[in-house]
A = this chain, B = another copy of it.
C-alpha cells in the first residue's frame, strides 16, 4: 500500500524541503536552480525530499528576490485569426531553450483593451514585450517606453516604432498586388474586406492598393465590407452581391484568404472562368488554401519569420541591455496560384 500524502492546506515552501532534507534553505534553493557547486550527496538528498514532498517552487517569491522574471509578454488582437497563433508558435519555438517564456494577451482589436492588457502584463515585470502593430495609444506607448524592457512591435513597419520593430509594409504589399493585377491586364476591380477601422494593417494594404491602382489610372470599381460570422460564408455572400451589382468586374481583391476562398468556391460553382473571366487574390498565405480546388493568389505575410526575429531581438536585448534598437522590414512574396494571370517581368 502506498502512502498518499495529504494535500497540504498551505503550499510547501523551501523551508519544508530544507527541514525534510536536513539541508539549509539556501542550498536547497541552489540545487533546485542548478546554481553554484553542490555536492552530489547533498543534491541527491534535496532532490529526493523535494520530489517526495511534491514541492513546487514559488516563482513569485523568486522573482521578487531576484528581480528577474523569465516571461515575455506577447500582445495580439485575436486568437481566432490563425495568423496570430502562428506568430505565437514561432515565438514559442524560438524562445524554447533560452529560459524565456511567452505569455499571451488578447486585445480584441480595441485600443482600450490593449492598454489594459499591456498594463496588466507590465505589472508582472516581464523581460520583454512583443506587441502587434505600431498603433498603440499614447499612454500605452509611454508605458512601453518607461518600462525599461525591450519592446518589439511586429507585423507592420509603416510608422515609427517605440523601440524595435519587425514586419512587412502593408502599404507596399497592397501596392505590389495592385501592380501585378494591372500588369495582368485587369481593369475593373472590386475590393472586399472586414469592417474593422481598427485593423490598421488591413487599412494600410487597402491604401497602398488604391494608390498603386490610381497611379495606373484605375479606381476601385466597387467595395464591400463584412463583420462577424464565418469568413468563408461571408466571402461567398459578398462576392455574389457584388457581382450581381456589378457584373463586369474582372478582378476581386480580398483583404484575407478566408473570404477569398469563399469567393473562389462560389465562382467555381457558377462556372466562371478563373482567372480568364475574373481574377482573384487574397492575403496571408494560409495553409487552408492548399486544399482548395484552385490555388488562390495571395501574398505571404512572413508571419513565421516575424515571430522568430521578434523573439531573437528580445533575447538579444535581454542579454545585452545596451544594444541599439533594430528595425527590420521583411518582404512579402506574391503567390500567383491559379487565380491571377502571370505576365512576364512579374
Interface residues, chain A, CB within 8 Å of chain B?
Answer: 5, 7-11, 54, 56-61, 63-64, 69, 79-80, 82, 85-86, 88-89, 92, 101, 103-104, 106, 119-120, 122-125, 142-143, 145-148, 229-236, 261-262, 265, 269, 287-293
Contact = CB atoms under 8 A, between A and B. Distances in A.
A60 to B, nearest CB: 5
A290 B54 contact: no
Contact of A146 (B54, B85, B235): B54
B54 A143 contact: yes
Contact of A145 (B7, B11, B123): B7
B123 A57 contact: yes
Contact of A235 (B11, B61, B230, B291): B291
Among all A-B residue pairs, the 10 with the closest Cβ atoms: A232-B291, A79-B85, A233-B291, A230-B290, A233-B290, A59-B123, A230-B287, A262-B291, A54-B146, A60-B63
A90 to B, nearest CB: 12
Contacts of A265: 291-293
A80 B69 contact: no
A151 to B, nearest CB: 11
30 contacts: A5-B146, A7-B147, A7-B148, A8-B148, A11-B125, A11-B147, A54-B142, A56-B146, A56-B147, A60-B63, A60-B124, A60-B125, A64-B64, A79-B79, A79-B85, A80-B85, A82-B82, A85-B85, A104-B104, A230-B287, A230-B290, A230-B291, A232-B287, A232-B288, A232-B290, A232-B291, A232-B292, A233-B291, A265-B291, A265-B293
A58 B122 CA distance: 8
Given A79-B79, A293-B265, A230 B8 contact: no
Contacts of A57: 123
Contacts of A89: 79-80
Contacts of A231: 291
Given A60-B60, A232-B292, 11 more contacts: A7-B146, A9-B148, A54-B146, A64-B64, A101-B120, A103-B103, A229-B287, A230-B287, A232-B291, A265-B292, A269-B293
A248 B199 CA distance: 50
A132 B289 CA distance: 29
A10 to B, nearest CB: 8
Contacts of A292: 232, 265
A204 to B, nearest CB: 25
Contact of A80 (B64, B86, B106, B125): B86
A231 to B, nearest CB: 7
A274 to B, nearest CB: 14
A113 B203 CA distance: 39
A230 B288 contact: yes
Contacts of A233: 290-291
Contacts of A293: 265, 269
A126 to B, nearest CB: 10
A269 B148 CA distance: 58
A145 B88 CA distance: 30
Nearest to A101: B120
A169 to B, nearest CB: 27
Contacts of A146: 5, 7-8, 54, 56
A146 to B, nearest CB: 5
